[in-house]
Amino acid sequence: MNEYSANDKSAAAHPAGRDEASDLPILNPARYSDPAFAERYGVRGGMSRPRKIALGVFGFALLCGVVGYIAWNQANPQIQATVISYTQNTSSSITVTFEVDKSANQSVECTIQAQDVQGNVIGSANVSVPSGRAKEDMVYTVNTTGTPNTAVVSSCTSTS
């Protein structure tokens, strides 16, 4: 036997939501926006539009601040090294003159790399830069495994 009979009428035909024959409410799917549903189950509406906008603006401002801080620190490092000149001594060494900008009370260790024509690293050395002066000019000879073409200061890190 079928639960539904031919006499059943749709809920659209009865605006009050009741079946005339049995006087029982016609069950409609629950709607979260229905105040009776919200009162019964404690469902509240979402965030208000002004609150969503305020949180979005705050989140965007925070993101911009973090990106700006990182960009500023990348653009203005505390330790900066610049190659001033390099001279190829023999086919197996290169002399590098470089300048290190740092705070005066900071000792630094810089890594110098010698590269061949293809850009392959053919020699490297770690050079200690003592504390005492903010700008320090250093000269160092790097031994290589091939004919050097150029030299770079790949990194400098603080040791104190």
pTM, to two decimals: 0.57
Closest C-alpha among 4, 29, 30 to residue 19: 4
What is the pLDDT at residue 25? Answer: 58
CA angle (123, 129, 130) in 5-degree steps: 155
Q: Which residues fall within 8 angstroms of residue 64, CB to CB, at 6 or more apart?
A: none
Q: Please give the backbone phi and psi of residue 93, each rounded to the nearest 5 degrees, phi first.
A: -160, 155
The CATH number of domain 80-158 is 2.60.120? no
Q: Which residues fall within 8 angstroms of residue 25, CB to CB, at 6 or more apart?
A: 17, 18, 19
Q: What is the pLDDT along the chain (160 residues), one digit of tens a residue?
A: 445 555 555 544 445 555 555 565 555 555 666 777 777 777 666 788 899 999 999 999 999 999 999 999 888 888 899 999 999 988 889 999 999 999 888 899 999 999 999 999 999 999 999 988 889 999 999 999 999 999 999 999 988 7
Task: Confirm if 77 and 88 have CB atoms less than 8 A apart.
Answer: no
Residue ranges covered by each domain of the chain? 12-74, 80-158
